[in-house]
Amino acid sequence: MTRRGLRSLVGVLVLSVGSVGSVGLSPTAHAEAGSPTVTGPVTGGNGVPLVFAHTTFDLGTKGYAQSEFFLEGTASAYSPTAPLAADGRWSLAPSSQAAYTTRIVVDRPIRRRDFNGSVVVEWLNVTGGVDASPDWLHMHDELIRQGYAWVGVSAQAVGLNALKAHSATGDPVRYASLVHPGDSYSYDMFSQAGQAIRDQAGLVLGGLQPRRVLAVGESQSAGRLVTYIDAVHPLVHVYDGFLVHSRGAGGAPVSQAPLPTVPAPGPTLIREDIDVPVLQFETETDLVALGFLAARQPDSAHVATWEVAGTAHFDLYGLRQGATDEGKRQSVADWFASMQHPTNQPDPNFTCALPINSGPQTYVLRSAIATLDRWVEHGWRPRSAPRVETVGSSPAQLAVDADGIVRGGIRTPAVDAPVARLSGLGQTGGTQFCQIFGTTVPFTAEQLATRYGNHGRFVRDWSGATLRALFGGYLRPEDAVDILVVGAQSDVLR
């Protein structure tokens, strides 16, 4: 990753193959959202779409093509017709309209036979002042090997305006025509992007025909998806399912300046009467530092929550490895090595006080998108996952074992056959962003010897934990095989 890309990425982070057929909403259920005018593929300017926290290898080597389109239309803002309650059962109505022109970036299979029918639509994250795609970064290996299409949407004003800027983050020639009326209109703009994927697939997807359209968003974007699910989805029914990744306690404002500010209540739950699947994915950092513990709710017919042990809001994989990861076994070996030899300095110009979390988030997140896709396609609701254990109250703290590893939650070999103490908490010093990057403390040779005795016993424990995670549905088969081999070939206690 380039230095400029890493800086922009750091700024962003404040806070089974599907078969043919679908049990998601039918196309006729999506007629209520506006369908914008789509133009493109876009060319000009510097010649490439600008998306930060994206992969840097040639997508063509994976049978994928990237393109960019402009969307132009009129978007609505919304106002409540009744007070907003914490349970998310909100009632809103369109309150004003404004013209917009935004853009979408599309990564898709080139060959029609490689497309699995699902489109993952990411609400691009703008906390760092630029459009970034952290969910593509963490999930791209699974998306590419299973044949998903991915669409990144510039839904918010900060990211769109950065595209127009005369700076390292902009291309004013390419993006001169873009216009954003303000984030109160972002929800309808996101709806219309999803509608355009359905209505104009011949152009946007190069002739691929989508059967499922899934919305995803991480961190700040996750907060906006919470509000979208509770407030807007019941009005437009554009998306067949949602992956809400690393949200905090509340949602984003329904409306904001220059329109009247309408904040979401804190906490904000996902409405239980939602009619499509919603999978919430939470790291240890999100539970405490972002306050998600206050927004915990029981799993229900269409809402499930995964809380993943040993993970941080963002991690070393996302900061250093994800952009160049082409899905080879060596990338898993590099991840394993990062637990043994972590760093607090992923770039010479960026340093935290302690080594950054090297947890298994990417691997569980890949399984999360596959689980959501199956849930939408077949109606197979995942079984409820164990929650991370807590102790005390006001505030609650995460319960940990004798090694400082959190108890409960979704388990992987990284925490059940550990070579390091992985945590989403405990980071200090450095920049304001370091607190969300968690920590890694490698075990000493003496600690490893006490725990395992020899390499063979480590491999036994590592393999057993990997298979439990695989059979639990929290690892993809391709990743589980590589994780098994890498553990067996490791130098632990050799």
The model's pLDDT over 295-304, given as tens digits with 9 standing for 90+, comes to 999 999 999 9
Q: Position 283: which residue type?
A: T
Residue 210 is assigned to a structural domain of this protein: yes
Measured between alpha carbons, how far is 370 from 305 in angstroms, rounded to an integer? 15
Q: Calculate the CA dihedral of residues 226, 227, 229, 233 and round it to 10 degrees.
A: -160
Angle in degrees, 0-180, between the axes of helices 455-471 and 445-452, rounded to the nearest 10: 70
Asked if residue 116 belongs to a domain, the reply is: yes
SS3 category, 89? coil
Work out how many domains the chain is built from and give that number: 1
Alpha-carbon gap, residue 272 to 269, rounded angstroms: 8
pLDDT in tens, 196-227: 999 999 999 999 999 999 999 999 999 999 99
| Residue 32 pLDDT | 63
- pLDDT band for 9, please (50, 70, 90 cuts): very low
What per-residue confidence (pLDDT) applies to 454?
98
Q: How far apart are CA 393 and CA 72, in angstroms?
A: 49
| Residue-range definition of the domain harbouring residue 31 | 17-276
**Contact predicate 349/7, CB 8 Å:** yes
pLDDT the model gives residue 26: 35
d(Cα 402, Cα 4) in Å, to the nearest integer? 40
Task: Answer whether residue 355 is part of any domain.
Answer: no
> pLDDT for 113-137, tens place per residue?
999 999 999 999 998 899 999 999 9
- The pLDDT value recorded for residue 303 is 98
What average pLDDT score do residues 232-249 get?
98
CA-CA distance, 66 to 314, in Å (whole number)? 25
In this model, does residue 25 exceed pLDDT 70?
no
Mean pLDDT of 252-261: 96
Mean pLDDT lowest among 30-44, 93-107, 161-175, 244-258: 30-44
Does residue 174 surpass a pLDDT of 70?
A: yes
Percent of the chain with pLDDT over 90: 89
Would you say residue 48 lies in a domain? yes
d(CA 382, CA 339): 29
Is the residue at 341 inside a domain? no
Q: What is the structure's pLDDT at 383?
A: 95
Q: Are 74 and 188 in contact (CB under 8 A)?
A: no
∠ CA 472-474-476, nearest 5°, is 110
Q: Is residue 201 part of a domain?
A: yes
- The predicted structure's pLDDT at residue 394: 80
pLDDT digits (tens, 9 = 90+) for 56-81: 999 999 999 999 999 999 999 999 99
Q: Is the pLDDT of residue 27 over 70?
A: no
**pLDDT, tens digit (0-9, with 9 covering 90-100), for 335-373:** 999 999 999 998 888 899 999 999 999 999 999 999 999
Higher model confidence: residue 431 or residue 162?
Answer: 162
Would 270 be classed as within a structural domain?
yes
Q: Taking residues 325-339, what's their average pLDDT?
A: 98
Q: Does residue 445 form part of some domain?
A: no
Give the tokens for residue 441: 């403390």
pTM for the model:
0.93
Total residue count of the chain as it appears in this document: 494
CA separation for the pair 137, 13 (Å, rounded): 13
Q: What pLDDT, on a 0 to 100 scale, did the predictor assign at position 169?
A: 85
pLDDT at 428 over 90: no
